[in-house]
Structure 1
Amino acid sequence: MADRIAVLGAGAVGGMLAVLLAEAGHEVTVLASERTGTAINVGGLTLRSGRYGEIAARVPARPWLTAPVDVLFVAVKAPDLLAALSRVPAGLVDGAAVVPLLNGVDHVPLLRAAYPRADVVPMTVAVEATRVAPGVVEHLSPFADYAITAGDRDVDPGGLLRDAGLDVDTSAPDEATLLWRKLCFLGPFALLTTRAMEPIGPAREAGSTRLDALVEEAVAAATASGATPDGAAVRARLGGMPATMRSSMLKDAEAGAVLELDAIAGPILRAAPDGAPVTRGIVAEIAAAGR
């Protein structure tokens, strides 16, 4: 089993993952900014979770990778990806599994070009978690769902996560379906809640027609991109979400942070056969509001 693991990004997803992997006995290094890295080196990483309890882990943080690893989890947001890659010299991940957890689809070819001698293994994650301070993550949802395609690999990232107590789905038949399966759900969820500046419950009530159209356009874009999405499953999932759930894009808008509009909406706008007019209109409204 691989035990040399680096996590690029110490936000909600990366921080939670680093704590659980360290708790499972792996040698984990976090790659983070000077401010966040200093906080982690001084006070450690803390996860507060209804599912996992409160876990404090002593995990070293560095501004860049300094030694080879077996697995690199990439847990930064899409607008930060290019800058973050400067923290990881390509020679230190030769032969390693590079596992991106980003939203969207366009990061995969970028990572394969940046790390041609690594095994880039796309993975998706569905979890509601928030970094409340540098080195402190609150896990807010009862679930922490990861997905990866099945396959024989020298290093099994899905197995690492299962051993750390996370749920891992391997049912996607190919990478396109894996990535678009999440995007067909996340696009409508993120765009509707961010436009409304409300959690999914009130946003869903006020915009049910728009939500249906957003799903339809995302599914059409996915199909045109060679994926095999299940529109009915997406609608059922969106309809069954707890009313208080907030998308990460909504949280970013509330915080005044840069939004992942291109990573989440861009693939839909570029691939939808009809140009995705409802998606396009909502993106325009969010952009015009300065979010």
Structure 2
Amino acid sequence: MKIAIIGTGGVGGYFGAKLAQAGHDVTFLARGKHLQAMQTNGLTVKSINGDLKLDKVNITDKIRAIGPVDLVMVCVKAWQVKETAAELKAIVTENTLVLPMQNGVLAAEELAEHLPQQNILGGLCRIISKIEAPGVINHFGVEPTIIFGELDNTQTDRVQQLQQTLEQAGITAKATTNIQAELWKKFIGICVSGLLAVTRSTYDQVLEVPQTRQLMVELLTEIYTLSQRIGISIEPDLVANIMFSFESLPPNSTASLTRDVWEGKPSEIEYQNGTVVRLAQKYNVAVPVNRFVYFCILPMENRARM
């Protein structure tokens, strides 16, 4: 399979390396020192599931140079999807699958502004990973998983074939017939990232203080309530299940948005708590904790984008 990895960060670097190791024709998109390091030394993945090293990789800093592909895995940050989508037209054919892997619930909609709807799947991933150094990806938490499905929730051959491709590469994969519910379940949990950023604390540090633990529950409950107002089909014990999953994270775990805010970088805040605030206003749902988190981070976000 000919595959384009658009964005070789913690997500794209890990999953792309697994697919390349399995023998697929994978081309990575990267820039700067990360690109230079991979051109010289290949790609190294450090993982709690076992390390791997690709001595040589196909890599470029121009999407057009990749050429037509069977699968595009869009692994850029959520706020970069809009600026990337138009460029993807150069490598998308009638039969190309486009799989977004962003946090949030807007990626497929934004891709569809520039690409044919029939090419686009709904998708998400679960992994805690990052660029440790140029040319080096570190996966240090959570079983790497990709969940995806047709946007109309039909069961199709191409979705089943993609699941087989991912599984044969050693990737846990789940084809779903309710991708909207899966997206929202992840979305609800990931929005805690902003609370970690505001409190300058890791998951376990927030959980061990009763007051901030309660804030975490309230933040999650607000978004769950919003999902029900919108009509998303999610199990009623989701908040409890998310809290349980946080308890099992490795000590000192953080999220990518959290680290970006701490480091003064542009973040996905508009696609996480910002999206909650805007949808809550549209559907008339009170989300005071999410509003507080979003508005606290907004000045830092504005400075990071100056």
**TM-score (norm: length of structure 2):** 0.86
- Looking at structure 2, the residues matched to 109 and 83 of structure 1 have their Cα atoms a distance apart, in angstroms, of 13
The equivalent of 1:212 in structure 2 is 217
Which of 132, 138, 151 is equivalent to 2:155?
151
The equivalent of 1:80 in structure 2 is 80
Q: Calculate percent identity across the aligned residue pairs.
A: 23
- Looking at structure 1, the residues matched to 223 and 189 of structure 2 have their Cα atoms a distance apart, in angstroms, of 8
Which of 175, 184, 187 is equivalent to 2:188?
184
The equivalent of 1:7 in structure 2 is 5
Distance 1:91 1:124, change over 3 A: closer
* Contact kept in structure 2, 1:222 and 1:271, CA below 8 Å: no
Deviations 1:237-277 (A, max 9, x none): 23333332111111112322101101111332123342311
* Contact kept in structure 2, 1:224 and 1:271, CA below 8 Å: no
The equivalent of 1:268 in structure 2 is 276
Bigger Cα displacement from structure 2, 95-104 vs 74-83: 74-83
| Aligned residue pairs, count | 287
The equivalent of 1:140 in structure 2 is 140
The equivalent of 1:49 in structure 2 is 47
* Contact kept in structure 1, 2:28 and 2:58, CA below 8 Å: yes
The equivalent of 1:281 in structure 2 is 292
* Contact kept in structure 1, 2:82 and 2:110, CA below 8 Å: no
- Looking at structure 1, the residues matched to 200 and 129 of structure 2 have their Cα atoms a distance apart, in angstroms, of 18
Q: Counterparts in 2 of 1:101-112, with a 5 A limit? A: 101-112=101-112
- Give how far 1:86 is off: 4.9
**TM-score (norm: length of structure 1):** 0.90
- Looking at structure 1, the residues matched to 157 and 265 of structure 2 have their Cα atoms a distance apart, in angstroms, of 37
- Give how far 1:140 is off: 0.7
The equivalent of 2:63 in structure 1 is 64
Give the RMSD, CA atoms, in angstroms.
2.1
Deviations 1:94-132 (A, max 9, x none): 321000000111111111221116521111111111102
Distance 1:91 1:191, change over 3 A: closer
- Looking at structure 2, the residues matched to 205 and 226 of structure 1 have their Cα atoms a distance apart, in angstroms, of 33
Matched, 1:202 2:205: yes
Deviations 1:146-179 (A, max 9, x none): 2223721336333222111121234x54121021
Letter in 1 for 2:104: G
- Looking at structure 2, the residues matched to 244 and 110 of structure 1 have their Cα atoms a distance apart, in angstroms, of 33
> Structure 1 stretches of 5 or more lacking a match?
none
- Looking at structure 1, the residues matched to 33 and 82 of structure 2 have their Cα atoms a distance apart, in angstroms, of 19
Bigger Cα displacement from structure 2, 208-217 vs 147-156: 147-156
- Looking at structure 2, the residues matched to 49 and 10 of structure 1 have their Cα atoms a distance apart, in angstroms, of 16
The equivalent of 1:168 in structure 2 is 173
SS at match of 1:251: helix
SS at match of 1:110: helix
* Contact kept in structure 2, 1:47 and 1:136, CA below 8 Å: yes
The equivalent of 2:265 in structure 1 is 257
- Looking at structure 1, the residues matched to 104 and 85 of structure 2 have their Cα atoms a distance apart, in angstroms, of 17
- Looking at structure 2, the residues matched to 283 and 215 of structure 1 have their Cα atoms a distance apart, in angstroms, of 14
- Give how far 1:234 is off: 2.1
Distance 1:126 1:154, change over 3 A: closer
Letter in 2 for 1:126: R
* Contact kept in structure 2, 1:12 and 1:129, CA below 8 Å: yes
